[in-house]
Amino acid sequence: MQFKPQKMLICYIKKLKIHSRKKKTMKRMHSYWLSSAVVATIAFAGFAIAQQKMSMPDATPVAPAPDAAVAVAPASAPQLDNAAIQALPIGAERGRIIAMQPGACFTCHSGTGDSVIPANPKLAGQHEAYLEKQLHDFKVAEGAEKAMRVNTTMNGMAAGLSDGDIKSLAAWFASQKQTPVPAQIDAREMSDLGKKIFFGGVASKGLPACAACHGPTGAGIAAKYPRVSGQFASYLEKQLKGFRDDKLPEGRANNEAMMQISKRMTDTEIKAVADYMAGVR
């Protein structure tokens, strides 16, 4: 694996267009982090939780201080070079170690994949085969102009992963527990519309019920259909628009059914069903 964490993170932060209020919070969090760094070495057990909260401040500085860069390295997994990682047996433990390497998955998705920032989807509890497929789809196939699923950050992240790394990462995140996000619907009509589409589709335009494939509780169906419940609504909305128009800068041409389905939906319908789906249990 060849992570270029600094470059990736800078580019990612630029994309986030963090406004000043968020910056202030992060500054605060950053100083909190510094002061707790000493404690953290002793309070080893608390590290996993702290690190999830700290993932943004780690990513904040455009030119991180040298000691801040060291601090990004999680204490709970050994830091290994690529040769050592490739020598590990394929499986969840190798996935965990890869995820915890400096600048790797944990910085955005948290170490267990239970992300807290809506732009970064939750991976915890997602189906293994689906995660594996996505990581392959983020890679640019030989001879292809671009990846089937375009996202600059993830295209960069996936590029250096071997098949064994991908299998291991999928196994690790699939075995972790997701903390579901609460439903975010604030208007009754939107909720009704979302519910109607999720369970019944829209017959007049051949839009199928989402529940047919994603399951009545949104938990998906192992191997083929991803979990959508408990995911961030804004992320789901972005994916539906990505499927609908794969020419978008972050388009997604990695599933024919979803590309067809999303083309039959208006922006309002997409928002309504995304909001509903996130909260369905």
For ligand HEC, the binding residues (CB under 6 A) are 8-9, 12, 99, 104-105, 107-109, 119-121, 123, 126, 131, 133-135, 151, 153-154, 157, 169, 197, 207-208, 210, 212-214, 224-226, 228, 231, 236, 238-240, 250, 254-255, 257-258, 261, 273, 277
User: Least separation, in Å, of the C-beta of 40 and ligand HEC?
Assistant: 21
User: Least separation, in Å, of the C-beta of 121 and ligand HEC?
Assistant: 4
User: Least separation, in Å, of the C-beta of 32 and ligand HEC?
Assistant: 21
User: Least separation, in Å, of the C-beta of 141 and ligand HEC?
Assistant: 15
Contacts (Cβ under 8 Å, ≥6 apart) of 53: 29, 116
Question: Which of 108/219 has CB closer to ligand HEC?
Answer: 108
Question: Which of 9/190 has CB closer to ligand HEC?
Answer: 9
Contact 61, 40 (CB under 8 A): no
User: Least separation, in Å, of the C-beta of 42 and ligand HEC?
Assistant: 27
CA-based nearest residue to 84, from 136, 156, 162, 155: 162
Question: Which of 123/185 has CB closer to ligand HEC?
Answer: 123
Question: Which of 71/105 has CB closer to ligand HEC?
Answer: 105
**Cα–chain center distance at 201:** 27
Question: Which of 36/234 has CB closer to ligand HEC?
Answer: 234
